[in-house]
Chains A and B, each alone.
Chain A
């Protein structure tokens, strides 16, 4: 991974690809790479869909190696949805393929000329760009079917659906999974619109001629990776809970806690949550023909939290919907039918939409009276409207904030224009701090890595002390920024939280891959560096403390059943970036 591929879409005569050494970006991967490039090369005050914005696609530092669960790929740009810097990442096969071919980043830049749409093909022979107007307005699953006879099923495809082509603020970038389905998505922040603005429909990556990346210290790497795998397999969450039930195992728990946002964040508990549970979802997949409750989104994943969801007759419906998807389209919209939610998940992937943003937008539309809460067929029709770009679909495709504005509503559960995920911040206030202060807009993964107590980011935190939500959130955001750079799935965090030897094995795996002697302090420094760049970018883009806030109604309207409000003081929110 020592080179960068730049595709200038505004070059005379059509898009032109050039390769260059990694240069000053050496040592960066994933989010570290995307943030560094956007920070250095994109004017913060530019329009996200203008020629000055760039789309950066970067595999993690460990992607393409034999390290377990290291297939995350980051995409970065200035976000059309939030106006902030954006990093969005996904699993799938893309990161491994790009990394094995030696690419630390692919950067789409320049001003699109004309209306032609292009396909990029990358293999061990180089890069080709082809006009691909026959792919115009194809949704993702149809696109993959059309590419299959040309490129086979062994390649990886990074693509946009119709939403990205229409440059909707809620549009994702899809990555194919091991079954060559477009199921893994860099969903958040409208990154698909930026790819669409560059006129690139898809990037086909054929790494069949490339080999797994070799570590600098192979024997030591093998040993530390073995310990890392043992740690993941032996942990209750990564070794048992996630493979058995997937992330949707959280539905019952959040509902029990009264923190399950229901009916557009009006209530904290959904009376039909049991019909949406991970336990039921897993049973459906186990008992139905073709269903698979335990599945990896990329080769070499030990955790296998993904799955394949089929209908009662054994027909493929979608990949196993994640917790956030089941919530956003489920309890948030008053829909308690897992099959309907799988259909919505499929359509989100098909048209290229973020499932969180889409579900929250539908919840807003339901409260506005466009359709009734609980109307599954109506929700499906709304997603079709988005995918087809009808006038109503254009509004909904612009996200929850825009939809609420169009219907004259205060209840838009967003921060910096991005929809809140599946945890009500009134019940779990520490999450609310992260939602409010993240550089990315409301984002549950910004403070996801639970390694803070091991890394001692920003000093030791006394868990018995009251208050200090900002301190915890800061540490988590720093730790996450660092982990997002490695390519390791965020879920490894649970094993390394509880098992110091597994954390040590992960760090040593990175060290032996690159011939480094990195310590926990170096990891912290990397996370801080990334966050500081992102914060500075946002400030130059016009964001200040007033934007690091939850909508006021979360502080005013108590949430049942606990009747709690979000009451973390502004002063504490403003202290998150004191490092």
Chain B
């Protein structure tokens, strides 16, 4: 099932003050290998996983219930996204339904969940559940398999925080077809050449940057599908 809802406004315009690399790319799903490696997202407050997905990112409804079949929070399998809490520094992984007995075992609230009860979130002690967190914080997110493909556009539209070396390595490993879909690339408002050989990331700082996709192209495509 492909995610087809119209993209909402990015929930965080200022990504913790980091420099922004803005791309226009016609095929956001081609970023899915970057998304499986892990990236960071800002979160304004401690909230449930459902609130994070639906209210902040915009992943709601049928897609959440039918397609997000395998979820891990800090390595623990999640069954109830209302109970799972997004806290500072946590690691969230989202995946589609998986094959094999273990795939079925890991499935959200699946029939075989007892087989992995030792690593289920519900069986593990929630540490620091009473911590109050007023300041925003960041979490690590990994999007796997079909979920990475489906939600690439949405997450990139909001903007993801990645390290400059990882980003440079990702672009370096892209095939030519990736660059045929790249319409423009700007860093802090300054245009960079779009040819692969011409991509020069020497202007990027050594730390993290925000990668964001301008979604005018994508929103137009989605509107034509609806």
| A→B interface (CB under 8 Å) | 236-237, 240-242, 244-245, 247, 249-250, 252-254, 256-259, 269, 274, 277-280, 283, 287, 305, 323, 423, 426-431, 434, 444, 447-448, 450, 452-453, 461, 463, 465-469, 472-473, 476, 491, 494, 497, 561-562, 564
B145 at the interface (CB under 8 A from A): yes
The reply to whether A241 and B99 form a contact with Cβ atoms under 8 Å apart is: yes
Main secondary structure of the interface of B (DSSP, over half): helix
The reply to whether A450 and B118 form a contact with Cβ atoms under 8 Å apart is: no
The reply to whether B99 and A242 form a contact with Cβ atoms under 8 Å apart is: yes
Q: Give the residue of B37, B66, B77, B110 whose beta carbon is less than 8 angstroms from that of A257.
A: B77
| Neighbouring B residues of A242 by C-beta, 8 Å | 99
| B115 nearest CB neighbor, chain A only | A430
The reply to whether B95 and A253 form a contact with Cβ atoms under 8 Å apart is: yes
Q: Tell which of B52-60, B100-108, B188-196 binds the partner.
A: B100-108
| Neighbouring A residues of B111 by C-beta, 8 Å | 450, 452-453, 461, 463, 497
| Neighbouring A residues of B36 by C-beta, 8 Å | 252, 274, 277, 279-280
The reply to whether B33 and A237 form a contact with Cβ atoms under 8 Å apart is: no
The reply to whether B119 and A259 form a contact with Cβ atoms under 8 Å apart is: yes
The reply to whether A257 and B72 form a contact with Cβ atoms under 8 Å apart is: yes
CA distance A20 to B146 in the complex (A): 51
**CB of B38, distance to nearest CB on chain A (Å):** 8
Identify 5 new A-B residue pairs, CB closer than 8 A, beyond the known A253-B103, A562-B75. Answer: A269-B75, A274-B37, A279-B148, A426-B118, A427-B119
| Neighbouring B residues of A236 by C-beta, 8 Å | 1, 66-67, 69, 96-97, 146
Q: How large is the interface on B (under 10, 10 to 19, 20 to 34, 35 or more residues)?
A: 35 or more
Main secondary structure of the interface of A (DSSP, over half): helix
CA distance A323 to B98 in the complex (A): 12
Q: Give the residue of A252, A258, A423 whose beta carbon is less than 8 angstroms from that of B102.
A: A423
| Neighbouring B residues of A237 by C-beta, 8 Å | 97-99, 103
| B→A interface (CB under 8 Å) | 1, 32-33, 36-37, 66-67, 69-70, 72, 75-77, 93, 95-106, 110-119, 142, 144-146, 148, 175, 177
Q: Give the residue of B66, B99, B148 whose beta carbon is less than 8 angstroms from that of A250.
A: B99
The reply to whether B101 and A431 form a contact with Cβ atoms under 8 Å apart is: yes
**CB of A173, distance to nearest CB on chain B (Å):** 23
CA distance A267 to B28 in the complex (A): 34
Q: Do A256 and B101 form a contact, CB below 8 Å, given A430-B114, A431-B115?
A: no
The reply to whether B144 and A252 form a contact with Cβ atoms under 8 Å apart is: yes
Q: Do A279 and B116 form a contact, CB below 8 Å, given A247-B100, A257-B75, A494-B104?
A: no
CA distance A467 to B102 in the complex (A): 17
